[in-house]
Amino acid sequence: MTARARSLPVNGRRNRPEGRAAAGILIAILAAVVLAADQLAKVAAIASLPPQEPVPVIGEFLVFYLVRNPGAAFSLGESVTWIFTIALAVVAVVIGWLAATRVRSRLWAVVLGLLLGGVLGNLGDRLFRPPGFGIGHVVDFISTPWMMPAIYNVADMFIVTMMIAVALLVVTGFRLDGTRERRVRADGDPESDSDDQPVAGSDSRP
């Protein structure tokens, strides 16, 4: 007996806002919240932290260390800052296009909204911080030596975690429109899925 893939709705309306407008609004709100949190944290770091001097917050578990990064993670690509500016702008445009034309899933809207906020946070640094438009240095100040040697910021945290979330949604078959790809038997009946739970108290006997 062979199986084929078919898109089926996941949990009815629970994972689907009322149309693309609702998803777009949710994405915009979450992006604005993350962008504001990132920029406020950077302003506070610049105002209160000495440049390139470690300030232990919780011992070696959390250390503030203010730097201005012209490159990517681990200061890679310092001489081609403009490439990162273009890449961030492209990602922001793609997310905006998806929000306007494709996304109807509430879960996808949350993930993309948080991701967009992180992207805009670092893109703002590239565009408006010294040494100039499009080649600005990103403000990093969070260090967790026990986890990784890189110094990062609030935007980076949302970018990394939401990219992982995007990968998980894709791997598990969640689609932008709120449906999920499930395996369906040749007789047309969907195979058992963890999302299909019996109603509490129902009688399963014939």
Q: What is the pLDDT of residues 187-202, one digit of tens each?
A: 555 554 444 333 344 4
Catalytic residue among 140, 177, 193, 196: 140
Active-site residue, selected from the candidate residues 38, 125, 156, 193: 156
Mean residue pLDDT across the chain = 83
The DSSP line for 93-155 is HHHHHHHHHT---HHHHHHHHHHHHHHHHHHHHHHHSTT-TTSPPEEEEEE-TTT-S-EE-HH
Do residues 146 and 61 lie in contact, with contact meaning Cβ atoms separated by under 8 Å?
yes
Q: Is 38 a catalytic residue?
A: no
Residue with tokens 């011992």: 59
User: Does residue 187 have an active-site annotation?
Assistant: no
What is the per-residue pLDDT across 30-86, written as a single tens digit (0 to 9) for each? 999 999 999 999 999 999 999 999 999 999 899 999 999 987 755 566 767 889 999
Instruction: Note if the pTM is more than 0.95.
Output: no
Q: What confidence tens digit (pLDDT) does each residue in 157-172 have?
A: 999 999 999 999 999 9
